[in-house]
């Protein structure tokens, strides 16, 4: 059987870090993952996915992420149930995170927090590492003054709608 989940999204709130009675760290968070297609009104929806991460990875995740952080996670889906205080059975589906990657640099994260938004600043020169820490590009190439147009001088107009794109 295969049970693998790979997601990229933004945290909807700061991770909630707790410790179990036996001293094991656990963090819970919700990841907002944009849907690829627009609805009839042209709006893109998002899925809000509950996630759980354990032990030292939970501590690192809570220390290096906050509301709005762009992260990639790798894990598995798990379901469980319990009886609430009213005696009703409650079913929970969540992703148990095995690995994560920070997909924005500390500089970009701080700029996003300072600006109060989720847009990634231009000139992001960081790349995710498999252990969950960003690696800054120590030798970034200078940004061109203006973007290059690959179709400049062709004389033909390019008309592409969202329906033409495969994603």
Give pLDDT tens digits along the chain (167 positions): 999 999 999 999 999 999 999 999 999 999 999 998 888 888 888 999 999 999 999 999 999 998 889 999 999 999 999 999 999 999 999 999 999 999 987 787 777 777 766 554 444 433 344 444 444 444 445 554 555 665 566 666 666 666 666 65
113-117, long-range: CB within 8 Å, 24+ apart, which pairs? 113/66, 113/68, 117/68
* Sequence ranges of the domains in the chain: 5-139
Query: In this predicted structure, what is the pLDDT of residue 57?
Result: 94
Query: In this predicted structure, what is the pLDDT of residue 131?
Result: 44
Residue 27's CB: how many other CB atoms inside 10 A? 23
46 contact partners, CB below 8 Å, separation of at least 6: 9, 32, 33, 34, 35
Could you say which architecture CATH assigns to the domain 5-139? Beta Barrel (2.40)
Q: What are phi and psi of 102, to 5 degrees?
A: -80, 125
Residue with tokens 């501590």: 59
Query: In this predicted structure, what is the pLDDT of residue 37?
Result: 85
């Amino acid at each position: 059987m295969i049970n693998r989940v790979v997601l990229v999204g933004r945290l909807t709130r700061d991770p909630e870090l707790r410790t179990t009675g036996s001293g094991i760290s656990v963090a819970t968070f919700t990841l907002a993952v944009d849907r690829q297609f627009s609805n009839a009104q042209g709006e893109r929806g998002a899925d809000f996915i509950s996630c759980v991460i354990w032990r030292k990875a939970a501590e690192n995740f809570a220390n290096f992420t906050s509301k709005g952080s762009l992260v990639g996670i790798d894990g598995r889906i798990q379901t469980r149930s319990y009886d609430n205080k009213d005696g009703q059975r409650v079913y929970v589906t969540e992703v148990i995170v095995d690995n994560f990657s920070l997909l924005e640099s500390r500089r970009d994260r701080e700029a996003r927090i300072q600006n109060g938004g989720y847009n990634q600043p231009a000139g992001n020169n960081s790349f995710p590492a498999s252990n969950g820490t960003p690696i800054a590009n120590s030798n970034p190439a200078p940004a061109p003054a203006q973007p290059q147009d690959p179709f400049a001088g062709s004389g033909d107009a390019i008309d592409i709608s969202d329906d033409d794109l495969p994603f």
